[in-house]
């Protein structure tokens, strides 16, 4: 595959998407980590546009750069070079504070390990981003949190602490927390990795449903080929580079990216 | 605003949940804070109370609120706790009248008491000398024709007893050390006096024998202790009015216009009283007032040992009849067959908790009436020899009028260290001129034929303008004859006698003028001491004086610094405790931060600003600080309240002074609690700085726990 081909692949295959607004626009992003004296490249010039309303999966084996790419899109990390724009705003020039505000107002996060605040109840965990926003009054917060509790089906657990919940229930809390601020974009890092397959499927169903009903853009990373079918399209990464961007059906048909990884590992 | 409140609520919530989650750590940190704040409350309350009571002691005993002295002085004035024998080297203030007028012109000044502080060694009599003096008197009266045989025999008996006591002493020295430790001439003297035919010699030539006894034997009795007395020369009337805690214990005060000496009761007991009796008093006081027991207290045991080994002091006082009397009484009391009175006394003084009160009573009822309990008695004349400022020895005979103490400070060494004398005698001892002395010196000059000449004319006056040295008298003066000088000196001697007859009167007007070293100032409003000190110095300058005003704390010297020292110790301890607390809280929070890196990263990822995290840690440590600091302060306040009710007993005479009485009842002020809480909150806040810094550096990436 030539570089030109890769460049082409970064754009959405369907012409339908090209007229749509890009919520995420990643341009030629490089990310290197320095470990002692060794520079380890995590992303080697990745470009990617994500249109609003997509349910995009970033696929690839361990070490392919999925999480790094999500970190950069989620503004929790900054690229070594290249540009990341969220909803048309270039993040490179933003201060730490502005980035934090951007995360709070624009992005919802779902983590592989759920990352709930253990000392807060389910309700309080979901309410937390609203409290950080300081825009909604307590009544509105309660309404929104309760609506989401109903939506993700854990209303009866609102007073429980995360430690009292199962993995699937915890991830539902995390999803509710990610959605409570009504973000334009939800980033999910391996959301099903710590769940059994049935629960994982349920979670993906829930995410997909919310993608439809709330029109929220979802980007989730996974190395599990079984969940690709949920995605509107799949971006496949290997060895820090974007391999291709295909429809879910094609991704499922083509299968894993192990061959690519094998060819590119340095 | 509501948004802020809600955010704060969640911060508090997270912080508190964290505290509960690691409750053991919270308890340990809280325990340290609790102890620290309790210490601050109790410590500052105690120090403040000691400060207040000590100021009452110092201000009320001798310092007054402010002491004023000459700013040109080499030393600083220290009324108490000065280790120099002669006191501080102060420049004089020439005219108290001018000084007093200047000081009284300051509106806050209520009273001014002139003072001078000094000290002297005073010989307080030797038992043997007293006995020999009595014998000499009897011999003289016999020679004058009176029938003194019985009295002389009894007195001879006493001297014989003394010689035997001294002989035993010397023999003991020889035994314990070596014979060489005893001076041969002492040994020879005691052998001669102990020889059987010594008293035959006495009968033949009593005066020569007495001379031998006075010169050779009396010095061997080393009970002729010198008293070291520190004294304040002052206007006694003004002193008594300004220091109203002063009360006369024995005798009377020095009448106005009379020279005289007042012993501090404490010194009188401590230094003048028969040591055995004083020790018995101390043992009794320790048992009754401080609940000590002989079985447990090493001081009491030491005193008992001293009493039972140092019976010589009593033995020297006993004549033959008294010795026999003591023997009978002690044998009965002790149910003993021992005939040696010194052994009986030794046994008698070896008291224990069971018999001490009975023996005390027996001593004062049966033995003390035969003893001279005080070496100097009220009414005696004390010869005080002191070095004057310029270094020569000056001596003054002063009648002891009585003893005094300060109400509530009777048992305090520090308040009782200074004796009192009239200002006029003080001036004389210190080498200042008095009108009488000026006249005396003038007379002596006339008698010696001296003429004052100025320096420029000295040569001409002494050697004449012309070089004919041999023709000129060596001293140019008016012609005086030996007869003239004799007349003047006879006059002086006559005057001295007259003075004695008049009981050393002086013109009371002298107190209001003349030289003083310092003055105590009593103010109307003690809260304005600082301002008054400045006013005094200004008033001094205006009057052409160089006055320095110092507050009571400084004036009292080392003693006054005690509270400052205690405060420093307290603050250092508090500092150490809270430094430890700071380190521990800091470490606990650092640990907590490190344990919660994932959570902090999540909070950062979902949009928590750095200050949110800082706030969280701050609330966490402040909550612990406020809670445990509050409990600690409350406990401290409770302890102070209990101490106030019960009172802290003064362990010894120094504390007696610091507590201004036998017990301290500490008070609690709002500032004690305020300081404790302020320290706790500052320390808590400070200890969250570093963990806060760490937390702020946690990247939101930490939340992304993935395979990368």
Does A14 fall in a domain?
Answer: no
| Percent of chain B predicted with pLDDT > 70 | 87
CB contact under 8 A, B606 and A221: no
Does A80 fall in a domain?
Answer: no
B7 touches chain A (CB under 8 A): yes
For the ranges A42-51, A139-148, B188-197, B538-547, which has the lowest average pLDDT? B188-197
SS3 call for A19:
coil
E strands, chain A, where? Answer: 22-35, 38-51, 55-59, 81-86, 89-90, 107-110, 185-189, 217-222, 233-238, 241-247
**Last residue within a domain, chosen from B343, B373, B403:** B373
A94 touches chain B (CB under 8 A): no
Q: How many angstroms away from the CA of A74 is the closest CA of chain B?
A: 8
Q: Which residues have a Cβ under 8 Å from the Cβ of A130 and sit 6 or more positions away?
A: A136, A141, A144, A145, A180, A181
Q: Which residues have a Cβ under 8 Å from the Cβ of B294 and sit 6 or more positions away?
A: B283, B287, B300, B301, B304, B351, B352, B353, B356
B587, two tokens? 């470490």
**Last residue within a domain, chosen from B347, B373, B399:** B373
- Same domain? For B452 and B600 the reply is no
Across the range B506-510, mean pLDDT stands at 79
Q: Find the CATH number of the domain harbouring A241.
A: 3.40.50.300
Strand order in the sheet with A233-238: A107-110, A185-189, A217-222, A55-59, A233-238, A241-247
Nearest CB neighbour to A109, from listed B599, B605, B609: B605
User: What's the total number of domains in chain A?
Assistant: 1
pLDDT level of residue B82 (50, 70, 90 thresholds): low
pLDDT of residue B557 exceeding 50: yes
Q: What sections of A82-186 are H helices per DSSP?
A: 96-106, 122-133, 138-152, 167-179
N-term to C-term CA, chain A: 17
User: What's the total number of domains in chain B?
Assistant: 5
Give Cα B517 to chain centroid, integer Å. Answer: 20
Say what the pLDDT of residue A92 is. 86
Mean residue pLDDT of chain B comes to 82
Are B445 and B478 in contact by the 8 Å Cβ rule? The answer is no
Q: Which of B229, B233, B232 has the alpha carbon at shortest distance from B423?
A: B233
Which one of A94, A123, A124, A131 makes the best mutation probe of the B interface by having the most chain B beta carbons within 10 Å? A131
Does B166 fall in a domain?
Answer: yes
- Taking CA atoms, B216 is separated from B163, B220, B385, in Å, by 11, 7, 24
Q: How many angstroms away from the CA of B5 is the closest CA of chain A?
A: 9
Does B555 fall in a domain?
Answer: no
Q: How many angstroms away from the CA of B674 is the closest CA of chain A?
A: 33
CB contact under 8 A, B607 and A134: no
Q: Which residues pair with B188 in a beta bridge?
A: none
Q: List CB contacts (< 8 A) between A67 and chain B.
A: 704, 706-708
Does B556 fall in a domain?
Answer: no
- Same domain? For B535 and B602 the reply is no
What value of ipTM does the predicted structure carry?
0.86
Does A231 fall in a domain?
Answer: yes
- Same domain? For B197 and B144 the reply is yes
- Taking CA atoms, B387 is separated from B119, B636, B657, in Å, by 9, 53, 30
For the ranges A167-171, B522-526, B592-596, which has the lowest average pLDDT? B592-596
Q: Which residues have a Cβ under 8 Å from the Cβ of B90 and sit 6 or more positions away?
A: B69, B70, B73, B74, B75, B77, B517, B518
Say what the pLDDT of residue B437 is. 65
pLDDT of residue A18 exceeding 60: no
Nearest CB neighbour to A112, from listed B599, B607, B705: B705
- Same domain? For B322 and B458 the reply is no
Does A145 fall in a domain?
Answer: yes
- Same domain? For B483 and B603 the reply is no
For the ranges B1-10, B149-158, B486-495, B574-583, which has the lowest average pLDDT? B486-495
Nearest CB neighbour to B7, from listed A113, A132, A137: A132
Nearest CB neighbour to B2, from listed A129, A137, A190: A137
Q: What whole-number distance in Å separates Cα of residue B540 and Cα of residue B81?
A: 27
Say what the pLDDT of residue A73 is. 93
For the ranges B182-191, B332-341, B440-449, B474-483, which has the lowest average pLDDT? B474-483
Q: What sections of B316-465 are H helices per DSSP?
A: 320-334, 341-349, 356-362, 423-430, 435-448, 458-463
Across the range B642-650, mean pLDDT stands at 90
B636 or B570: which leads in pLDDT? B636
A51, two tokens? 């249109």
Owning domain of residue B463: 444-505
Give the helix/strand (H/E) hosting B111. strand B109-123
pLDDT of residue B372 exceeding 60: yes
Say what the pLDDT of residue B223 is. 57
pLDDT of residue B473 exceeding 80: no
Q: What whole-number distance in Å separates Cα of residue B191 and Cα of residue B377?
A: 34
Q: List CB contacts (< 8 A) between A111 and chain B.
A: 602, 703-705
CB contact under 8 A, A68 and B708: yes
pLDDT of residue A211 exceeding 50: yes
CB contact under 8 A, B13 and A111: no
B156 or A164: which leads in pLDDT? A164
- Same domain? For B252 and B263 the reply is yes
For B65, half-sphere exposure in the C-beta direction (CA atoms, 13 angstrom radius) is 20
Across the range B561-577, mean pLDDT stands at 85
Q: What is the DSSP string of B171-219?
A: HHHHHHS-GGGS-HHHHHHHHHHHSTTHHHHHHH-HHHHHHHIIIIIGG
B382, two tokens? 């004390």
Does B708 fall in a domain?
Answer: no
pLDDT of residue B707 exceeding 50: no
- Same domain? For B518 and B588 the reply is no
B121 or B452: which leads in pLDDT? B121
DSSP tag of B255: P
Does A18 fall in a domain?
Answer: no
Say what the pLDDT of residue B466 is. 54
Per-residue pLDDT tens digits for B404-440: 998 877 777 777 888 999 988 888 888 776 666 667 7
Say what the pLDDT of residue B160 is. 84
**Chains A, B: CB contacts under 8 A, how many?**
116
Across the range B260-281, mean pLDDT stands at 91
Does B707 fall in a domain?
Answer: no
A139 touches chain B (CB under 8 A): no
Does B439 fall in a domain?
Answer: no
- Same domain? For B418 and B518 the reply is yes
Across the range B271-297, mean pLDDT stands at 90
Across the range B258-271, mean pLDDT stands at 91
Q: What whole-number distance in Å separates Cα of residue B195 and Cα of residue B188?
A: 10
Q: Which residues have a Cβ under 8 Å from the Cβ of A237 and sit 6 or more positions away?
A: A46, A58, A59, A60, A64, A65, A66, A69, A243, A257
Say what the pLDDT of residue B503 is. 53
Question: Burial of A12 by CB count in 10 Å (0-12 exposed, 13-18 middle, 19+ buried)?
Answer: buried
For B503, half-sphere exposure in the C-beta direction (CA atoms, 13 angstrom radius) is 12
Nearest CB neighbour to A119, from listed B18, B610, B707: B18
pLDDT level of residue A10 (50, 70, 90 thresholds): very low
- Same domain? For B160 and B21 the reply is no
Say what the pLDDT of residue B104 is. 92
Does A4 fall in a domain?
Answer: no
pLDDT of residue B86 exceeding 70: no
Say what the pLDDT of residue B453 is. 67
Say what the pLDDT of residue A259 is. 41
Q: How many angstroms away from the CA of B1 is the closest CA of chain A?
A: 9
Q: What is the DSSP string of B114-161?
A: EEEEEEEEEE---HHHHHHHHHHHHHHHHHTT---HHHHHHHHHHHHH
B251, two tokens? 């005798």
N-term to C-term CA, chain B: 41
Q: What long-range pairs does B572-577 form, CB within 8 A, spacing at least 24?
A: B573/B39, B573/B43, B574/B36, B574/B39, B574/B40, B574/B43, B574/B679, B577/B32, B577/B35, B577/B36, B577/B39
| ∠ Cα B415 B416 B421 (to 5°) | 115
CB contact under 8 A, B704 and A103: no
Say what the pLDDT of residue B220 is. 78
Owning domain of residue A173: 53-73+94-264
- Same domain? For B403 and B468 the reply is no
- Same domain? For B30 and B149 the reply is no
Q: What whole-number distance in Å separates Cα of residue A222 and Cα of residue B473?
A: 132
Q: Alpha-carbon dihedral of residues B527, B533, B538, B544, nearest 10 degrees?
A: 140
- Same domain? For B106 and B198 the reply is no
Other beta carbons within 10 angstroms of residue B418's beta carbon come to: 20
């Amino acid at each position: 595959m030539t570089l030109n081909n890769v460049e082409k692949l970064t754009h959405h295959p369907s012409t339908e998407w090209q007229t749509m607004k890009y919520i995420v626009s990643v341009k030629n992003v490089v990310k290197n980590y320095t470990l002692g004296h060794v520079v380890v490249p995590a992303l080697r010039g990745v470009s990617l546009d994500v249109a609003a309303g997509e349910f995009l999966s970033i696929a690839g084996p361990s070490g392919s750069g999925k999480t790094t790419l999500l970190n950069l899109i989620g503004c929790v990390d900054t690229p070594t070079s290249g540009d990341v724009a969220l909803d048309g705003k270039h993040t490179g020039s933003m201060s730490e504070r502005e980035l934090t505000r951007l995360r709070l107002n624009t992005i919802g996060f779902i983590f592989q390990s759920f990352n709930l605040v253990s000392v807060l109840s389910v309700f309080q965990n979901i309410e937390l981003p609203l409290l950080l926003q300081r825009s909604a009054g307590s009544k509105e917060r309660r309404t929104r949190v309760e609506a989401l509790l109903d939506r993700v089906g854990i209303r009866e657990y609102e007073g429980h602490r995360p430690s009292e919940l199962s993995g699937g229930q915890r991830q539902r809390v995390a999803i509710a927390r990610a959605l409570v601020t009504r973000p334009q974009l939800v980033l999910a890092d391996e959301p099903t990795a710590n769940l059994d397959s049935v629960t994982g499927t349920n979670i993906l169903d829930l995410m997909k449903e919310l993608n439809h009903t709330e029109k929220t853009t979802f980007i989730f990373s996974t190395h599990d080929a079984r969940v690709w079918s949920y995605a509107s399209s799949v971006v496949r990464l290997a060895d820090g580079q974007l391999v291709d961007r295909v429809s879910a059906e094609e991704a499922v048909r083509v299968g894993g990216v192990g061959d690519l990884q094998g060819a590119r590992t340095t | 605003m509501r948004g802020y409140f809600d955010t704060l609520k969640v911060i508090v919530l997270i912080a508190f949940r964290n505290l509960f989650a690691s409750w053991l750590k919270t308890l340990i940190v809280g325990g340290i804070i609790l102890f620290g704040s309790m210490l601050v409350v109790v410590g500052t309350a105690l120090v403040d109370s000691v400060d207040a009571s000590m100021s009452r002691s110092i201000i009320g005993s001798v310092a007054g609120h402010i002491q004023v002295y000459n700013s040109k002085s080499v030393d600083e004035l220290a009324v108490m706790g000065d280790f120099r024998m002669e006191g501080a080297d102060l420049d004089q203030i020439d005219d108290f009248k001018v000084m007093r007028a200047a000081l009284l012109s300051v509106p806050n000044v209520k009273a001014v008491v002139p003072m001078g502080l000094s000290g002297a060694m005073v010989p307080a009599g030797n038992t043997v000398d007293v006995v020999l003096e009595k014998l000499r008197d009897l011999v003289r009266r016999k020679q004058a024709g009176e029938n003194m045989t019985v009295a002389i025999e009894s007195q001879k008996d006493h001297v014989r007893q003394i010689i035997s006591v001294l002989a035993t002493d010397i023999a003991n020295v020889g035994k314990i050390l070596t014979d060489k430790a005893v001076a041969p001439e002492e040994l020879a003297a005691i052998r001669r006096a102990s020889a059987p035919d010594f008293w035959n010699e006495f009968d033949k030539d009593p005066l020569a024998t007495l001379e031998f006894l006075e010169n050779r034997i009396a010095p061997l009795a080393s009970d002729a202790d010198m008293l070291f007395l520190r004294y304040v020369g002052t206007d006694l009337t003004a002193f008594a009015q300004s220091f109203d805690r002063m009360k006369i214990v024995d005798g009377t005060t020095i009448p106005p216009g009379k020279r005289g000496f007042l012993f501090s009761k404490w010194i009188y007991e401590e230094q003048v009283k028969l040591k055995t009796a004083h020790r018995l008093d101390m043992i009794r006081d320790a048992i009754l007032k401080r609940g000590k027991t002989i079985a447990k207290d090493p001081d009491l045991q030491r005193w008992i040992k001293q009493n039972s080994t140092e019976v010589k002091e009593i033995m020297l006082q006993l004549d033959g009849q008294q010795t026999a009397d003591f023997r009978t009484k002690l044998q009965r009391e002790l149910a003993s067959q021992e005939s040696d009175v010194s052994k009986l006394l030794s046994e008698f003084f070896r008291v224990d908790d069971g018999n001490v009160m009975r023996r005390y009573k027996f001593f004062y009822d049966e033995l003390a009436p035969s003893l001279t309990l005080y070496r100097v008695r009220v009414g005696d004349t004390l010869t005080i020899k002191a070095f004057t400022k310029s270094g020569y020895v000056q001596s003054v005979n002063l009648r002891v009028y009585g003893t005094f103490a300060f109400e509530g400070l009777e048992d305090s060494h520090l308040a009782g260290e200074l004796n009192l004398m009239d200002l006029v005698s003080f001036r004389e001892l210190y080498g200042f001129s008095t009108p009488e002395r000026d006249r005396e010196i003038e007379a002596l000059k006339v008698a010696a034929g001296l003429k004052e000449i100025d320096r420029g004319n000295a040569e001409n006056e002494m050697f004449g303008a012309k070089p004919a040295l041999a023709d000129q008298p060596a001293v140019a003066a008016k012609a005086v004859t030996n007869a003239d000088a004799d007349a003047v000196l006879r006059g002086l001697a006559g005057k001295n006698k007259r003075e004695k007859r008049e009981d050393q009167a002086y013109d009371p007007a002298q107190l209001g003028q003349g030289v003083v070293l310092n003055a105590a100032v009593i103010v109307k409003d003690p809260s304005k001491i600082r301002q008054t000190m400045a006013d005094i110095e200004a008033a001094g300058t205006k009057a052409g004086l160089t006055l320095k005003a110092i507050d009571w704390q400084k004036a009292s010297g080392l003693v006054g610094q005690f509270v400052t020292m205690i405060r420093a110790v307290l603050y250092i301890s508090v500092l150490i405790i809270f430094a430890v607390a700071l380190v521990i809280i800091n470490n606990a929070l650092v640990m907590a931060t490190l344990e919660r890196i994932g959570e902090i990263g999540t909070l950062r990822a979902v949009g928590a600003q750095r200050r949110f995290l800082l706030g969280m840690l701050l609330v966490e440590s402040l909550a612990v600080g406020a809670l445990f600091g509050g409990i600690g302060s409350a406990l401290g306040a409770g302890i102070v309240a209990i101490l106030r009710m019960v009172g802290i007993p003064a362990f010894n005479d120094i504390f007696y002074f610091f507590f201004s009485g036998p017990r301290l009842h500490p008070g609690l002020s709002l500032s004690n609690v305020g300081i404790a809480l302020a320290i706790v909150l500052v320390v808590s806040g400070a200890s969250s700085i570093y963990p806060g810094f760490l937390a702020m550096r946690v990247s939101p990436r930490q939340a992304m726990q993935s395979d990368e």
